[in-house]
Amino acid sequence: MNLLYPNGKEKIKSLSEDTIKDLALNEIIDMFSANDTEKAFALNVLSTFVNDDETIIYRQEIIKDFLSDDDFRASLKMILKKIRVLREYRMHNHFHVVKKTSIWDMIEYMEEMDIYIQTVEELSALFERTQFSARGLKDISSLLSEAIKTDRLTEVKKFVADMKSDISTLKSVTVGINLDSELYPEEVIMVSMNTVPYRSRMIFRDMAASIQAQREITYRYPSPTMKYLTADIEKELARAVRKYKKALREHIDFKGYFLVDICDDLNFYLQIAEFGSELKKKGLPISFPNILPDSDHVKMDQIYNLRLVNEGSDEIVRNDISFSENEKIYILTGPNRGGKTIMTQAVGMAALMAAQGLFIAGNSYEGYAFNDILTHFPAKEDQTLNMGRLGEEAVRIQQIVKDATPFSLVLLNETYASTNAVDGLYLAKDLVRILKHKNVPAIYNTHLHELARSTESMNEWDGNSDVVSLTMEMVDNTNTFRVLRAKPDTTSHARNVALKYGVTYDQMLDY
C-alpha cells in the first residue's frame, strides 16, 4: 500500500534544484519537519509531481480528515512512535528470514511481536472510533480489521505471554571475571544460571529504571555481553527454545506489517495537517484547491508567501492572480523590496502545493493543476564564474523554454538584469515573445520598466493570450505590497529607493 501514490509513480516530473532553491522549498519544509530524515522525505514528496488529478484529490481527502480531528492527530502521533520501533526490529532482527537463529534472535522477535500486537490493536481501535471520508484512510481501517482476524491476534497474545513466562524462569546469571596484571578484564566465565534475581547491597535502581523506560519507546539494541552468553543460556533453556522457535515460525507473515511501509507517509500527512492547523490558529487562511481537470484557467485568491510566516511578519499581505486563455503572461514591476519576489514565490508555492494535493496558503484556488514549475532567479556570483552572469542566464533560459508547456508555470525574477538596459530589454522581449508563442503561463518580475510599458505592442505577436502589466502599489511613497494592474511609475519608484537609502540630493547635502 502507498498512501502518497495510490496509482503508482509512472511518468512523473521533479522540480529542478534551481527551482527548489528559488521557491525556498527547504525553508518551508523546515517549518513542519522535526529532523533531517523527515526533511529529506518531505522534500522528495514535494519536489515530485503526481501523475494524475485523482491522486491530488486522494491526498486532499486524507489531509482534510487529519485537519478535522485534533484528538486523532494526537493519538496517531503516539502510535507512529511504536510503528517506527517496529520498523527498527524488522530491520535489525533476522528471525523472520534466517532459519538458524539464536535464543537472542528469538527473544528479540518476541519483543517485536509484542509491539506489533499493541500497534495493530491501538491503531485499529483509533480508526474504528474516527469517522473518515478519505478513501485511503478507510482502506487502512479495513486492512487493520483484516489483519486482526487473519493474524489471530487474540491467540498470538496468549502465545507471547506464555513464551515470556517460560523464558523468564531464568532470572540471573553469575559470571566470573578474570583480570590481568593491570586489573583490566581478561576473561568472562559463566559460573551459574539462576532462577532467582541476584541480590547485592549495591543496586543501581535509578540506572535500571532509566533502561526500562528507554526500552518502552525505542528499539532495544542487542547487548554484546548477552550475545556472548547466548550459547550457554540456550543450552539451559533447550526445551523451551526448541518449542518456541518452531511455533514462532508460524507467525512471521503478519498482514499488519503494511504499517511499516506507510509509516513515513502517515507521518508526512500528520505534519502537513499540524502545519495547516498552526496557520489557522494564527488567523491565516488555508484552502484546498478545486481541481478542474478540463479547465482552461487557474484562479488564486488572497494567496500569501509562507516565508513571511516563518519570519514572524506582523501583517501578511495577500494578493490575487489568475491565468486564463486571454491573459497568461504578467510583467511585474515595482520598487526594491516592494514585494515582487515575495509575490512571485507565493504564486509558485500555491501552484506547487495545489499540484501536490495539499492545501494552499490563501483563500481559494480553482482550475487545473500545473504539471511543472520552471524558475529563473538571480544566481550567486560563485555559480557564474565560468560563464559569467549573462552566460548562466542564457543556459538556464534555453532549458526553461525547451521544457515549458501550456500546463507548466514559468517564474522569472530579474532575468537579464546583469546586462545593460538596452541589451536586457532586447533579450527580455524575445523571451516574452517565445513564451507567448508557446502559450505558457508566466510571471516576469523585472526592473525593466520599458518592458512593462510595451505590452500593447507585444500583444500583437503570435499567441492567443495577452501580456499584462502589473505593479506593486505605492501609497505616499510607502510600499503596500499589493499588486495592481497598472503600468510602472518610474519616478515614484526611483524616488522611494533614493529616500530609503539616503541618497537623494537633499539627504547627501548633510553628509
Note the pLDDT of residue 385.
44
Per-residue pLDDT band at 129 (split at 50, 70, 90): very high
Q: Is the Cβ–Cβ distance between 318 and 425 less than 8 Å?
A: no
Per-residue pLDDT band at 382 (split at 50, 70, 90): very low
Integer-rounded Cα Rg, in Å, for the chain is 31
Per-residue pLDDT band at 184 (split at 50, 70, 90): confident
- What SS3 state is found at 364? strand
Euclidean distance between CA atoms 340 and 332, whole angstroms: 7
> Which pairing describes strands 290-291 and 364-367: parallel, antiparallel, or unpaired?
parallel
Note the pLDDT of residue 263.
96
Q: Is the Cβ–Cβ distance between 305 and 346 less than 8 Å?
A: yes
C-alpha grid cell for residue 198? 541476584
Confidence check: pLDDT of 200 > 70: no
List the chain domain ranges.
Answer: 17-166+254-266, 169-229, 284-509
Query: What is the full DSSP assignment across 283-339?
Result: T---B--EE-TT-S-EEEEEE--HHHHHTT-SS---EEEEE-SSEEEEEEE--TTSS
Q: Is the Cβ–Cβ distance between 346 and 303 less than 8 Å?
A: yes
Q: What is the mean pLDDT of the chain?
A: 86
Average pLDDT estimate for 402-427? 92
Note the pLDDT of residue 465.
92
Q: What is the pTM of this model?
A: 0.84
C-alpha grid cell for residue 328? 497568461
Q: Is the Cβ–Cβ distance between 361 and 305 less than 8 Å?
A: yes
Euclidean distance between CA atoms 468 and 331, whole angstroms: 6
pLDDT per residue as tens digits for the range 316-341: 999 999 999 999 999 999 887 789 99
Q: Which residues pair with 445 in a beta bridge?
A: 332, 413
Q: Percentage of residues in the chain with pLDDT exceeding 90?
A: 56
Q: Is the Cβ–Cβ distance between 497 and 472 less than 8 Å?
A: no
Helix axes 103-128, 70-92, angle to 10 degrees: 160
Region of poorest pLDDT, from 50-64, 76-90, 227-241, 246-260: 227-241
Report which of residues 235 and 149 the model is more confident about: 149
Q: Of 4-13, 96-105, 244-253, where does the model show the most confidence?
A: 4-13
Instruction: Kindly provide the b/e burial profile for residues 27-54, where b requires at least 16 CB atoms within 10 angstroms of the residue's own CB.
Output: ebbeebbeeeebeebbbebbbbbbbbbe
Query: What is the full DSSP assignment across 241-294?
Result: HHHHHHHHGGGS--GGGHHHHHHHHHHHHHHHHHHHHHHHHTT---B--EE-TT
Average pLDDT estimate for 101-106? 72
Q: Is the Cβ–Cβ distance between 441 and 372 less than 8 Å?
A: no
Q: Percentage of residues in the chain with pLDDT exceeding 70?
A: 83
Note the pLDDT of residue 190.
67
- Taking residue 499's Cβ as centre, other Cβ atoms within 10 Å add up to 13
Confidence check: pLDDT of 174 > 90: no
Average pLDDT estimate for 72-89? 94
Confidence check: pLDDT of 175 > 90: no
**Domain covering 284-509, topology:** Rossmann fold (3.40.50)
pLDDT per residue as tens digits for the range 449-496: 999 999 999 999 999 899 999 999 888 778 889 999 999 876 556 666
Report which of residues 495 and 350 the model is more confident about: 350
Confidence check: pLDDT of 384 > 50: no
Q: Is the Cβ–Cβ distance between 329 and 444 less than 8 Å?
A: yes
Average pLDDT estimate for 435-455? 95
